[in-house]
Structure 1
């Protein structure tokens, strides 16, 4: 187990070249294989504690919302964290920080990382696993937001993205049956040898109709989780909806917190 790396925390004052260089350092420090002590089979099982002398692991879902100034321009990020154990919510926290840079593809963690780290600092429980609405290793420099924050905190992490940032699925991903996973391999847009397994397209839900279809999620290891386990976790925690429950609830809580401070979505 590697130590936390606060020295690699997102810094919006860096130049673009410095940010990209830092991401390569983060990718080099990341562990893209299983390195944790909990049993993934107990992640979303409310009965796990009855069959085990130990509590189920704590899974924290993380998502973002954005607040606007008087002119309607987004100027702050609201990071929401929902911690779950055995399928039950045990804590919710959020943090608000200024947006310091515009959205730049591939540099999301430098825009949203500071409020996420602030929210995690406010969490009283220690997560065993972090699930992000964003990418992990499926990233140009193998260091999406799930990898960046996972390495900084040295907590196992997984990226759950709704669209494919880079890489090539090994098969067609259209209208996949529920439970299907398709390997995503690196290509010339990724800082890895072509053909490196960087994640999976995972079909967590699908319509029972030939006329409608749901797109897959793009699931990738962030830190201390392998690609196969990342896909397993996404499927196991997507109980009734497309998104895994911790991420879905974090998305809902981000909107709720936004409404509570008077900035409705």
Structure 2
């Protein structure tokens, strides 16, 4: 896959002000509503041979890091079957800055997409989408660049508020994440959901995931597909397998 909107490709050489201005432009063109060529209800981890061909192709993206390099991995699933795995190893140009993750990791991830032969229907990123100070987290920024339906799944809440206590919630629980004063959006704007994917008796303090639309998906669809993609683990299977692949590639480089 190559960028459809190259004017939005994140440039780590820009100043912070330029980066934030670009994110606002990305947010203006991002669509936080469903605009997909597949039935979101068909997303699943089913391995039923009679259904596999009907399942949308879902790509998971995650990274590992080694000696100033990013190992960006993509794993594509159709149902529960892995269709393709690929990765790219690139130099990191800037440190991590909260809210500017796409400028650190976006280029490396796009390099991995360049190596990808498949054309996914949906991409699940390990990072925020609409839940972002300027409404343009990693999943939104790269979703717009590639013009692909995308979802962000973060382990921590970057901004916004959850109008509920998130601790100790049972599997399947969800609550809206709403914009607050830290977000460039009207107060109370729905940004995504806190979603408790799993809970374990052996470890009762499992934090929820923070799921938000990246591009061309709604908040409701984003959390629904993530729920269908969590196959017995906390993380959705596409990003979990991408994390495993990234770590395998990292080990091979050490």
| Distance in 2 between residues matched to 1:113 and 1:55, nearest whole Å | 31
Q: Does 1:158 align with 2:151?
A: yes
Q: 2:141 maps to what in 1?
A: 148
Shift of 1:47: 5.1
Q: Does 1:126 align with 2:119?
A: yes
Shift of 1:50: 2.0
Q: 1:72 maps to what in 2?
A: none
Shift of 1:55: 3.1
Where do 1:199-238 residues align within 5 Å?
A: 199-208=192-201, 212-238=204-230
TM-score (norm. length: structure 1): 0.92
Structure 1 residues not aligned, in runs of 5+: 69-74
Q: Does 1:62 align with 2:55?
A: no
Matched residue SS, 1:155:
coil
Cα contact 1:43–1:87 (8 A) shared by 2: no
Shift of 1:212: 2.1
Instruction: Tell me the C-alpha RMSD between the 2 structures.
Output: 1.5
Shift of 1:86: 1.2
Q: 1:71 maps to what in 2?
A: none
Where do 1:233-244 residues align within 5 Å?
A: 233-244=225-236
| Distance in 2 between residues matched to 1:42 and 1:202, nearest whole Å | 20
Deviation track 1:178-209 (CA, whole Å, cap 9, x = no partner) reads 10101000000000000000000000001237
Shift of 1:172: 1.1
Q: Does 1:258 align with 2:250?
A: yes
TM-score (norm. length: structure 2): 0.96
| Distance in 1 between residues matched to 2:204 and 2:241, nearest whole Å | 25
Q: 2:173 maps to what in 1?
A: 180
Q: 1:22 maps to what in 2?
A: 22
| Distance in 1 between residues matched to 2:51 and 2:75, nearest whole Å | 25
Cα contact 2:140–2:150 (8 A) shared by 1: yes
| Distance in 1 between residues matched to 2:51 and 2:171, nearest whole Å | 28
| Distance in 2 between residues matched to 1:186 and 1:48, nearest whole Å | 40
Q: Does 1:96 align with 2:95?
A: no
Cα contact 1:237–1:244 (8 A) shared by 2: yes
Q: 1:169 maps to what in 2?
A: 162
Matched residue SS, 2:72:
strand
Shift of 1:39: 1.4
| Distance in 1 between residues matched to 2:200 and 2:88, nearest whole Å | 36
Matched residue SS, 1:50:
coil
